[in-house]
Chain A
Amino acid sequence: MKTFIVHFLIAFLGSYVYFKYGDPLLPYNAVWAVMVSVFIMFLLWLTSPFYHRSYFHKLPRALSFVMFFLKELVVANLRVAYDILTPNYHMKPAVVAIPLSVTTDLEITLLANIITLTPGSLMIDISADRKFLYMHTLYVKDDDLELVKQHVKNGFERRLIQLTR
């Protein structure tokens, strides 16, 4: 995590300085700026096995996690938008208690934030012994609460655990 932040700052400042004060070969626009910073990050990533071995494996997983999250975000947003624009409600709300396997403060905060950002689900509370997470969700297929729990546990939580441990 620390390595990622340092690399990200280096890449961002590198591309910023290159386009602001350097003599760029490319015409400036947003696409090229992002491409240059991605290129710098890629170079730094290639050097990382020498000082931070696990970072080398974790960055591709982190990227796939971000892609998965963006996909979920857009799909769920479209589903809620469809529900808003058509006259009948298709939703079946429920309050679900999700058993947690993440333990530390950072992991629980990240998981709660991600769940709340996905439309149609809202964190309500966490139990006092940190074993359960109470979530208000909009779409439950045929009253099967297990399916919702499995979706969260296999989708977000598994990937988050892979990332932070």
Chain B
Amino acid sequence: MLEDINFLLIREIISSVLIIVGVMFMLISTIGLLRFPDFYIRMSAITKGATLGLGFILSGMGIYFNEPDMLLKVMLIIGFTFLTSPVAAHVIGRTAVRNKIPFWQPTNLEEFKEYLRKEHSTHRDHQRDNKHL
């Protein structure tokens, strides 16, 4: 019974489906990068789509090559990408806010004005911030 199943074929099908799904996510997020209206929305489109797509592609690869070493490396790459890519997105977004990149017109900015008043009214430096902790 077990010998009749063509494991290679099953593996190939599963890994191709995973890789195609990942590539589709990357393609869609790249289209989003080109056609979304402002910087922040573009940022959110590109970071998440690319991260999820990378996860799908790498897991498809790990299933296809079917070796313990490969699976270990793939798991490590996925884990570290998921940990580090939001940090990069956060830093880029924060820099954009500091440099006053404008928002899209329909954006609801009521609480953002509050934020500007509170956090940027005086120059923020880290020595003052950490004094009362």
Once bound together, how far apart are the Cα atoms of A16 and B73, in whole Å? 12
Known: A16-B72, A85-B28. A123 touches B90 (CB 8 A): yes
Q: Is the CB of A125 within 8 A of B97?
A: yes
Q: Is the CB of B37 within 8 A of A89?
A: yes
Q: Is the CB of A84 within 8 A of B111?
A: no
Q: Which of B83, B87, B111 has the most CB of A within 10 A?
A: B111
25 contacts between A and B (CB under 8 A): A16-B72, A29-B7, A30-B66, A74-B52, A80-B45, A81-B32, A84-B29, A84-B32, A84-B35, A85-B31, A93-B103, A95-B111, A95-B112, A97-B115, A120-B44, A122-B44, A122-B89, A123-B90, A124-B90, A128-B124, A128-B129, A129-B132, A134-B111, A136-B44, A138-B44
Q: Is the CB of A20 within 8 A of B107?
A: no
Closest B residue by C-beta to A114 = B86
Once bound together, how far apart are the Cα atoms of A123 and B44, in whole Å? 10
Once bound together, how far apart are the Cα atoms of A129 and B114, in whole Å? 15
Mask: chain A, 131-154; 1 = CB below 8 Å from B; 0 = not = 010101010100101000000000
Interface size class of A (residues with CB under 8 A): 35 or more
- B: residues with CB less than 8 A from A are 2, 7, 11, 25, 28-29, 31-32, 35-37, 40-41, 43-45, 47-49, 51-52, 62-63, 66-68, 71-72, 82-83, 85-87, 89-90, 93-94, 97, 103-104, 106-112, 114-115, 118-119, 124, 129, 132
Once bound together, how far apart are the Cα atoms of A93 and B64, in whole Å? 40
Q: Is the CB of A112 within 8 A of B45?
A: no
Q: Is the CB of B108 within 8 A of A92?
A: yes
Query: In whole Å, how far is A111's beta carbon from the nearest beta carbon of chain B?
Result: 11
- Provide the residues of chain A in CB contact with B129, threshold 8 Å: 128
- Provide the residues of chain A in CB contact with B2, threshold 8 Å: 27
Q: Is the CB of A93 within 8 A of B107?
A: yes
Once bound together, how far apart are the Cα atoms of A16 and B4, in whole Å? 27
Known: A93-B40, A116-B47. A127 touches B107 (CB 8 A): no
Once bound together, how far apart are the Cα atoms of A129 and B36, in whole Å? 34
- Provide the residues of chain B in CB contact with A102, threshold 8 Å: none
Q: Is the CB of B71 within 8 A of A136?
A: no
- Which of B49, B62, B114 lies in contact with A30, CB distance below 8 A? B62
Query: In whole Å, how far is B28's beta carbon from the nearest beta carbon of chain A?
Result: 5
